[in-house]
Amino acid sequence: MTELAPKPLQGKTVLVTGGARRLGRASALALAGAGADVAITFRDSLRDAQRTVIDVSGLGVRALALACDVTDEKSVKTAVKEAVRELGGIDILVNNAANYETATFEKLTLAQWDAMFASNTRGPFLVSREALKFLRLRRGKIINMGSLGGLRPWADHAHYCSSKAALHMLTKVLAKALAPEIAVNCVAPGMIDLGEKAAANFMRRMAKQTPMQRNGTSDDIAAAVLFFARAPHFITGQILAVDGGLGL
């Protein structure tokens, strides 16, 4: 008789923002694979969200998708309330939703700057604040999705890099402010190859520059999210670069 695989997150409930596609979906699936019930949020990707809910449910856990614009206070309040109503609470919040854009500094507009900070910094602030009382009740965790770009300066990404550096600092501030009930950590992905054809040449070049001689995969990032999800509360305030050594 084969033994059932251990489910370390069984009985836990996770909220993953922007979890319909790409890295958010991979994290949602990994957390569900470890036994957690999962709520994802989406903004535009309704079909992807529906597909992810079906795939997450297929792992034998409860799953739901909620529309949410993380820049909008009212929308965030509604989504968090709905997630708690449906799943009973929140043990782990993954602040994954974000935007990425390339822009030379001279041409960067005020609107671009503000939009980047609205999604990448204000979003995690708003969702964390709304989820706080539920996370406290469960002695929960917040996992922010930062970026190697928040640790290293990328010349054509002033707004993106600054927004992620701010999120890294928010991680550390919250780790201190919300202790001892809530552990707060951050995964900072480096170059992650999600198979986009347009990026193939760039990805080849980056793999050569990376000590591990390859780019990251969605599984590498999901594994880091799962690590923090399962980690002892004593691990808090950490920014974990998942970059194959590229930032060294």
Ligand X SMILES: NC(=O)c1ccc[n+]([C@@H]2O[C@H](COP(=O)([O-])OP(=O)(O)OC[C@H]3O[C@@H](n4cnc5c(N)ncnc54)[C@H](OP(=O)(O)O)[C@@H]3O)[C@@H](O)[C@H]2O)c1
Residues that bind ligand X (CB under 6 A): 18, 20-24, 42-45, 68-71, 96-100, 119, 145, 147, 189, 192, 194
By beta-carbon proximity to ligand X, the closer residue of 99 and 138 is 99
DSSP three-state, residue 32 = helix
- Residue 187 is encoded by which pair of tokens? 């995964």
Looking at residue 129, the DSSP 8-state letter turns out to be H
d(CA 21, CA 65): 12
CA dihedral of residues 38, 94, 145, 237 (deg, nearest 10): -140
Q: Which residues contact 215 (CB under 8 A, 6 or more apart)?
A: 190, 191, 192, 193, 203, 206, 207, 244
Q: C-beta of 232: minimal distance to ligand X in Å?
A: 24
Q: C-beta of 234: minimal distance to ligand X in Å?
A: 25
Residue nearest to ligand X (CB): 18
User: Is 160 designated active site?
Assistant: yes
Q: CA 123, 127, 129, 130 torsion: positive or negative?
A: positive
By beta-carbon proximity to ligand X, the closer residue of 21 and 141 is 21
By beta-carbon proximity to ligand X, the closer residue of 69 and 91 is 69
Q: C-beta of 10: minimal distance to ligand X in Å?
A: 26
Catalytic residue among 160, 182, 221, 236: 160
By beta-carbon proximity to ligand X, the closer residue of 18 and 140 is 18
Q: C-beta of 180: minimal distance to ligand X in Å?
A: 27
Name the residues annotated as catalytic. Answer: 160
